[in-house]
């Protein structure tokens, strides 16, 4: 029995998925009378009248080259949030199985689990925001199906140490270890995607929402073993990535340099902003960041958050989050935006 035969929920192994018209014939040429589309055109004036490729193969073959994996190892979703949701749906039996998260971390793991009635167990990060291997061990049992590791982490901004991730991957070979690399482009560390062939239990998540600047388009990526990816494709909505998104992503993949330029600009701004913030007396600590966010501890974060809001500078209040007392999370803006923030903070 393969790992994923064991992990994937039994009723899904034998699921007969929806077979779309585009499943049955994938050629581009022909007289298409199979999908009840409007043959004349679309009201929007663009050629949107045809259903898109349900498996987005054109994008995946380009992405596979860029990321160093096989097209069949890639899942594309309506944001990486879709990949998160479907991973839980694929392997966690509601009210029976559980998953482990490492707070403070991205909120969607818990939300998706709560919606699906899957138990969430918490192994808080240490004070320097690294995984606590003992705490993780205490949470894991035979019903644990997924461990979520966010690296670089949100909202703390730091990378998780490579050797700790490897330790987790090796310690729990029968549990899926998801590395959420939403911010990996900003970090001086390689993606875990290239290790997919070394660890059967490894899943990597990335997104076009952050460094690529396409949050509005809603496209995210999941990378894993072919068997697992095939299952995610089986349980997703047939046309989860719309035609327009697919076209724009294909374009964007010809322009990796522009993404890299944006990343460089943001990193320069991050250092400038950290320097300016460190001059302020109300700032108690600036956590070191490997991403496009700074977690900053203030004298009185809630008050500062409100005051900033009144002057229409919006940051994220994380002061109620575990291990983030009195912290605000600040996304790196443009030079002008960051200066506005500093000016408003100087007034306080």
Ligand X SMILES: *Cc1c(COP(=O)(O)O)cnc(C)c1O
Query: Residues in the site for ligand X, rule: CB under 6 A?
Result: 79-81, 106, 150, 154, 180, 182, 207, 209-210, 215, 220
What's the burial of 111, exposed, middle or buried (CB within 10 Å: 0-12/13-18/19+)? middle
Query: Cβ of residue 205: shortest distance to ligand X, in angstroms?
Result: 6
Residue that the structure tokens 């987005």 belong to: 56
Query: Cβ of residue 256: shortest distance to ligand X, in angstroms?
Result: 18
Query: Cβ of residue 159: shortest distance to ligand X, in angstroms?
Result: 13
Q: Give the end-to-end CA distance of the chain in Å, rounded to a whole number.
A: 63
Nearer to ligand X, 106 or 129 (CB): 106
Asked whether the beta carbons of 52 and 242 are under 8 A apart, the reply is: yes
Nearer to ligand X, 84 or 283 (CB): 84
Query: Cβ of residue 79: shortest distance to ligand X, in angstroms?
Result: 3
Nearer to ligand X, 182 or 283 (CB): 182
Query: Cβ of residue 299: shortest distance to ligand X, in angstroms?
Result: 27
Nearer to ligand X, 8 or 179 (CB): 179
Select the residue whose beta carbon is closest to ligand X and give its number: 79
Round to whole Å and give the CA distance between 233 and 324: 37
Nearer to ligand X, 159 or 283 (CB): 159
- Per the DSSP assignment, residues forming a β-bridge with 178 are 148, 203
Nearer to ligand X, 210 or 287 (CB): 210
CA atoms within 13 A on the CB side of 322: 14
Nearer to ligand X, 186 or 305 (CB): 186
Query: Cβ of residue 261: shortest distance to ligand X, in angstroms?
Result: 21
Sign of torsion, CA 34 15 6 78? positive
> Residues 6 or more apart from 153 whose CB is under 8 A from it?
104, 105, 106, 125, 129, 159, 160
* Structure-token pair, residue 197: 């062939």
Asked whether the beta carbons of 294 and 287 are under 8 A apart, the reply is: yes
Nearer to ligand X, 76 or 345 (CB): 76
Query: Cβ of residue 6: shortest distance to ligand X, in angstroms?
Result: 27
Query: Cβ of residue 208: shortest distance to ligand X, in angstroms?
Result: 7
Nearer to ligand X, 209 or 338 (CB): 209
Sign of torsion, CA 25 29 33 38? positive
Query: Cβ of residue 215: shortest distance to ligand X, in angstroms?
Result: 6
């Amino acid at each position: 029995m393969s790992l994923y035969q064991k992990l994937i929920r039994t009723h899904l192994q034998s699921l007969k998925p929806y077979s779309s018209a585009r499943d049955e014939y994938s050629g581009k040429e022909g007289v298409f009378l199979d999908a009840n589309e409007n043959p004349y055109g679309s009201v929007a004036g663009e050629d949107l009248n045809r259903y898109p490729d349900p498996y987005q193969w054109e994008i995946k073959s380009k992405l596979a080259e860029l990321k160093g994996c096989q097209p069949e190892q890639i899942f594309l979703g309506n944001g990486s949030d879709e990949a998160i949701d479907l991973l839980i749906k694929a392997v966690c039996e509601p009210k029976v199985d559980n998953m482990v998260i490492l707070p403070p971390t991205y909120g969607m793991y818990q939300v998706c689990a709560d919606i699906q009635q899957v138990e969430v167990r918490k192994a808080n990060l240490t004070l320097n925001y690294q995984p606590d291997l003992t705490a993780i061990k205490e949470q894991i049992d035979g019903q644990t199906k997924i461990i979520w590791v966010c690296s670089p982490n949100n909202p703390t901004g730091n990378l998780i140490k490579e050797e700790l991730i490897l330790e987790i991957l090796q310690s729990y070979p029968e549990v899926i270890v998801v590395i959420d690399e939403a911010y990996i482009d900003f970090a001086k560390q390689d993606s875990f995607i290239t290790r997919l062939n070394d660890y059967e239990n490894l899943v990597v998540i990335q997104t076009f929402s952050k460094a690529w600047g396409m949050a509005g388009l809603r496209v995210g990526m999941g990378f894993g073993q072919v068997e697992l990816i095939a299952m995610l494709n089986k349980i997703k909505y047939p046309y989860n990535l719309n035609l327009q998104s697919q076209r724009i992503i294909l374009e964007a993949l010809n322009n990796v340099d522009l993404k890299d330029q944006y990343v460089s600009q943001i990193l320069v701004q991050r250092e400038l902003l950290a320097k300016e913030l460190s001059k302020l007396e109300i700032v108690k600590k600036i956590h070191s960041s490997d991403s496009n966010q700074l977690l900053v501890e203030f004298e009185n974060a809630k008050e500062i958050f409100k005051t900033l809001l009144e002057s229409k500078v919006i940051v994220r209040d994380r002061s109620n989050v575990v291990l983030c007392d009195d912290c605000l999370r600040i996304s790196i803006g443009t030079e002008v935006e960051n200066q506005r923030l500093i000016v408003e903070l100087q007034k306080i």
